[in-house]
Every structure is written in structure tokens, then in C-alpha cells.
Structure 1
Amino acid sequence: MRAAVLHTPGQPPSYGEHPAPASSPGATVVRVSAAPVVPLDLMCASGESYFGVPATPYVPGGQGVGVVESSESLGAGTRVWFLATAGMQPGDGSLAEWCAVPDADVVPIEAGVPDEMAAALGLSGVAAWMALSWRARLQSGERALVLGGGGAVGQVGIGAARVLGASTVVSVARPASVPRASAAGADVVVPLEGDVNALTSALAEHAPFDVVLDPVFGDASTAASRNLAAFGRLVNLGGSSSDLATYSSSALRSRTASLLGYTNNAITPEQRREAITAVLTHAAAGRIRMQYDVHPLAEVEQVWSRFAGGESSTRNVFVP
């Protein structure tokens, strides 16, 4: 089959021939129609992640969309979203014409959302949805603040907060990403400018916030914590800006606020299935939106290099 094949950790994969997966008990073989590249894929392929150095050559890609070719649990032709563990465990991933994954990691898609959009949303959608609904327990009428609103998780988080009943959704985004956060449906987008005190003051104009979705950490998270409402909850699910943030004890105590962590690794396959189904259903109805770019898989080396070099901030989806 044709695939993106990584031969050397730390280098971009190249487009070429690679052995196709074989059918096996308990596994579903999917003919891939769309697959994204996300930061986790780059981290695994770097050879410097906590998963260790991956055995090469292998096909990267931790998730995708396609139709079932063979399976013991689903009929051939069923349209599905699937999860792969390429780079984290031995085996190939989604950046190929076919991919084999455990039956439990395949979710049928009934929503009328394009394959490319379903692939773009994927685990970012799961993270935003579960962090807000399950970890923060966002309630109808509460005010939500979404940090990193121009990123994949942030864009989904803006729409998800609205779907879950937030009365107001404010976002923080880098100046270049403000249009994406606005297009995702934020009521107000505060540009990430100045120092932490300036951002604290800018957010205070729209505070207090009952729930903060935080995929960035750093100064933005510090400023958000200073603008929490009584019994407010800040859920961190990433550190794209920094691995450190500073919080005031008095600010947290005076508000009886909660700082919470979230990872997709903590949820069950059933929770993941319900979350991806909810996100795709709302995306099909236009309630959750994300901007993404689509590329032929043959361009994987160039696009991967731009993404790894910080030259591309939009979600990239490949079509075999």
C-alpha cells in the first residue's frame, strides 16, 4: 500500500510503499479516507517522548476516518472513526491507505459530517468535550473561558461550551488566531498580548468565569485563575504555551476554586465513543466548528516539516 513511512526518528516521514495490514482476530481493518497529524504524532515520531524510541520503519498517525474493510464486530463498508497507537506501541498508524486497529477502538459514524472534518475533530474534540462536560461539569447558564481559542481543542471547546449551555463564551487567542476563535463562535476574543497583569485586566472586563478550558497553561492560565468565579473550575489539558503556571493561594481560597487536570488516557472506550459521537453530531449541525487544511498524502513530508517547524498552526488532514 502507499503510506507515510517514518524511517528515522526526528525526521519527517516519506511517501512510499509499505506492507498492508492483514486481517486478524479482534482487529478491524479500515480503508482510510482521512487522517490528521497532531502534536502527539510529532512527539512520538521524534524518538524523544516518554513512550521511547519507536521501532522503524513505521506508519505514524494516531487516528483517522474511513470505511471498514474487514471486521468481526462491524459490517464491511461501515463508516468509522478509529484510534491507533502508532509510535506509542509497536505497529502502524493511520497515514496510509489501510490501517488495522482493535475492534474496541473503532466508532461508527452516523452524523453527516465530511470525512476530513471528522478526522480534524477527532481526539481534540473528545478532549474538549470531556474536559467541559465530565471534568468541569459545566452547567447551563455558567460563563466559560476558553484559552487557546484558535487551536484545535480551543475551537471545539468554544462550540462545545455553547452546546453544553454556557451563557457566555469568552476566548483568549494569539493575535494571528483571533479570526479562528471568532469563527468558532466565541462571544468575545481577547488577544494574547502583553504580560500576565495586562491579560488579567483584559479578562476582568468579561469575568468572572465559572469554567476555564485550558490547553495552554503558562501566563494565560495564571490570568484566568485570577478571574474565576466563586466555586470556579479551571481544567488543564495541555501545556502548549508552557509547562509552568503560577497561582495565588489567596485567589483560589477566596473563591473556593478548583484546579483540575484532564487527559484522554483517563477515559474509557465507551466514554470516548460517546464523546466522539456527540462532537460529530453537533459538528454536522454546525454547532461545533474547526478550520483545517486538506492535503494529499503524497505531500506528507513537506506538510509535516512545516508543522514541526511551527510554520503551520491549522489542523492538517491527509487524504490517501
Structure 2
Amino acid sequence: MQAWQVHENGEPSEVMRLQEVDRPTPGDGQILLTVRAANINFPDALLCRGQYQVRPPLPFTPGVEICGETEDGRRVIANPVLPFGGFAEYAVADAAAVLPAPDALDDAEALHIGYQTGWFGLHRRAGLEAGEALLVHAAAGGVGSAAVQLGKAAGATVIGVVGGAGKAAVARELGCDVVIDRHAQDVVAAVKEATGGRGVDVVYDPVGGDAYTQSTKVVAFEGRIVVVGFAGGSIPSPALNHALVKNYSILGLHWGLYNTKNPKLVQHCHEQLTALAARGAIKPLVSERVPLRGAAAAVQRVADGVTTGRVAVVPGNGASA
């Protein structure tokens, strides 16, 4: 079969190689899946760079999220077990963690990591309520766009922060009530103006760095900042005295832990997301569907922050996606 292999750590476009390799053999409790579509996530770039919390042995195939097909014909979504990741024709996954793909979504849209992360962050961690104000950083990206749609579905007023006019247009299409272009506007001043000086109840931050600092300046009394990741490359060191004085909460979110600590919640979340998709309340924005040969360049684009929504790798001719 064809699979992308990483033999040494570095930038995805430099270290990913498309090769002919043996089809993987599932271990105990695992199943073999035909890859119908593989969503590109920022952790795929971190894996290539050797900067992710999981470091598979070299060589490995990246690709942490797929829509696949079981040998008995079921369409499912799964997180492949490394080193047999999703940027390949076949992948391996733990049978117990495989979930049915939502009928309302096609292969490239089949939601999982981004929307599960958003649901746990906004509902399980932050307790977002209808009528509250939600600020989403990187609102046009794969993770941010999911939070925007989930926030709107929950009845929140959503303020999206993006970088550039093109991404601002995407954020408006996703449903943001207010869009702030950080390249052209003062984020803090714009948020305060949009909220009448009150600030926002919940901040969803997959960026870190300067975005986190901005969040602390606009979070409202008893507000919640959900720390999702550090795509900006800088991990902030929060001043806890500031959280005390302003009376806000800083909440960490590592979605992967729920798979081991409380997998029933993952199943419950999947059921909630499937229902939202069925009624059209959420629908992933797929900005690119690239063939398998284009995976390395696409992972690099996601790593460089120049994409919007979701970028999906579709092995074969892409007809199934």
C-alpha cells in the first residue's frame, strides 16, 4: 500500500515521504481500516517535528484522525494507533474507540477531534450558557471554526478573532456575530467595544502567546478562559494574581485524556454532535480535499497557519468523499 513515512524529525514538507509499505497488521483489540478521508490536525505537524507529547518510533505514518471503513463495510471515525497513522491507504485503530460516522456528513466532514475538543471545552469545562458572550481565537481555523459553530448552536454571541481579510470573510460565513481582524484592529479595544466594556464570559484559545494575554484583558467577571493549545508557538506563563483580582478561571483541556479517563463521555459527546449535525446546526467547513500525494504539502500549510477550516486528505480518486 501507499503511505507517508517520517524517517527523521523536521518540517512536514521536508521529512514526509510517500512510499510503498506493507499493509499494517492489527494487534489484539485492534482493527484494520480502509482510509476514506484523513483530516489534517496541527498535532500532525508537531509529530513530524518531534514536538508532540507522543513520540512514535521512526519511521511512522502521521495522521491522527480518519473516516474509515471496516472490513465488514461499516463507515466509522477513528484515531489511528501510531505508527500506522491515517495518511495512508490503510490504518489501524483500537476497536473499542471506533465511532459510527454521522450519516449527515460526508467522509471529509465526519467530525471528531475538532468538534469533540470544542464540545468538551465549551460545555464540559466552561459550562457555556445561552446568552453568554464567547470569544474564539483563530476562528477561521479547523479548531476555531468548530468552536464558532458549537457556540452559536448553544445560543451564545460569538466574537471571532482572525488574521487577515480572507479569514475574516470565512469567520462571518461560519456565523460569528462579530469578527475582529487582529492584523488591522486592536483586539482588546474591539472586544470591549463589542461588549459595551463588559468583556466576554468564555474565551476559547487554541493559540496561546499574545492571544492569551489579550484574553486576560477582556474576560468578564467570573469568566472562563479555556486553554486548548499553543498553535502560536509560545506557551504563556499566567500571572495568577491577575486571575485572583479579576475573578476569572483558567481551564485546561486535553481532549485525549477523556478517551482513557472517561470514554463514556466521549460516546455521549459523539451522540450530541451527531444530533447537531443531523439537524444542520453544525457542519465542518472543508476548505481543501487533497489526494494522498498532496498530504505533505497540505500538512505544511496547516502548520504554517495559512489554511481555513478543515483540510482533508482523500486517498484514491476522492469519489467517496
Q: What interval of TM-score do these two structures reach, taking the shorter chain for normalisation?
A: 0.7 to 0.9
Question: SS where residue 134 of structure 1 aligns?
Answer: helix
- How far has the Cα of 1:305 moved from its partner? 4.2
User: Deviation at 1:228?
Assistant: 2.2
How many percent identity over aligned positions?
A: 28
Match of 2:161 in 1: 172
Whole-angstrom distance in 1 between the partners of 2:245 and 2:54: 40
> Any residues of structure 2 matched to 1:233-312 within 5 Å, and which?
233-241=224-232, 242-244=234-236, 249=241, 252-267=243-258, 268-292=262-286, 293-309=288-304, 312=307
Q: Could you tell me which residue of structure 2 aligns to residue 13 of structure 1?
A: 16
Distance 1:254 1:276 in 2: 37
Q: Give the alignment of 1:1-320 within 5 angstroms.
A: 1-10=1-10, 11-52=14-55, 54-69=56-71, 76-86=72-82, 91-118=83-110, 121-166=111-156, 168-175=157-164, 176-193=166-183, 198-207=186-195, 208-241=199-232, 242-244=234-236, 249=241, 252-267=243-258, 268-292=262-286, 293-309=288-304, 312=307, 314-320=309-315
**What's the CA shift for 1:269?**
2.4
After TM superposition, the score normalised by the length of structure 1 is 0.85
Superposed CA deviations along residues 190-214 of structure 1, whole A, max 9, x for unmatched, are: 111369xx32111101222111111
In the alignment, the residues of structure 2 paired with residue 156 and residue 314 of structure 1 have an alpha-carbon distance, to the nearest angstrom, of 8
Please report the TM-score for the alignment, with normalisation by the length of structure 2: 0.85
Per-residue CA deviation, residues 273-314 of structure 1 (Å, 9 max, x unaligned), is: 332343344234332244331011022233334444555455
**CA offsets, 1:237-290, max 9 Å, x none?**
11122312665845x445421111111133132222332343344234332244
Q: Tell me the CA shift for residue 14 of structure 1.
A: 2.3
CA shift for structure 1 position 48: 4.3
CA contact (8 A) 1:155 1:180 kept: no
Describe the SS at the equivalent of 1:259. strand
Name the structure 2 match of 1:72. Answer: none
1:143-166 deviations in Å (ceiling 9; x for gaps)? 211121111111110111122232
Offset of 1:32 from its aligned partner? Answer: 1.1
- Hey, what's the Cα distance between the residues in 2 that align with 1:215 and 1:18? 35
Asked whether the 8 Å contact 1:222–1:245 carries over to 2, the reply is no
- Alpha-carbon distance, 1:236 to partner: 0.9
The match for 1:73 is none
Q: Following the alignment from structure 1 to structure 2, what is the Cα–Cα distance between the partners of residues 303 and 165?
A: 34
The residue type paired with residue 90 of structure 2 is W
CA shift in 2, pair 1:301/1:139, >3 Å:
closer
The one-letter code of the counterpart of 1:278 is Q
Moved more, 39-48 or 59-68: 39-48
In 1, are the aligned partners of 2:145 and 2:171 still within 8 Å (CA)? yes
Partner SS, residue 20 of structure 1: coil
Whole-Å Cα distance in 1 between the matches of residues 306 and 223 of structure 2?
36
Quote how far apart the aligned CAs of 1:136 are.
0.2
Unaligned runs of 5+ in 2: 316-321
> What does residue 318 of structure 2 align with?
none
- Deviation of the 1:19 alpha carbon: 1.1
More displaced 10-residue stretch of structure 1: 275-284 or 252-261? 275-284
Q: How many residues align?
A: 303
State the distance in 2 between where 1:257 and 1:305 align.
Answer: 36
Runs of 4+ in structure 1 over 6 Å off: none
The aligned residue for residue 319 of structure 2 is none
Distance 1:193 1:288 in 2: 28
Unmatched runs of 5 consecutive residues or more in structure 1: 70-75
User: Following the alignment from structure 2 to structure 1, what is the Cα–Cα distance between the partners of residues 133 and 257?
Assistant: 26
Q: Distance in 1 between matches of 2:255 and 2:142?
A: 15
What RMSD over aligned residues (CA atoms) do the two structures have, in Å?
Answer: 2.4
Against the structure 1 CA distance between its residues 147 and 245, is the aligned structure 2 distance closer, same or farther, given a 3 Å change threshold? farther
Which moved further from structure 2: 148-157 or 216-225? 216-225
CA distance in 2, matches of 1:249, 1:111: 48
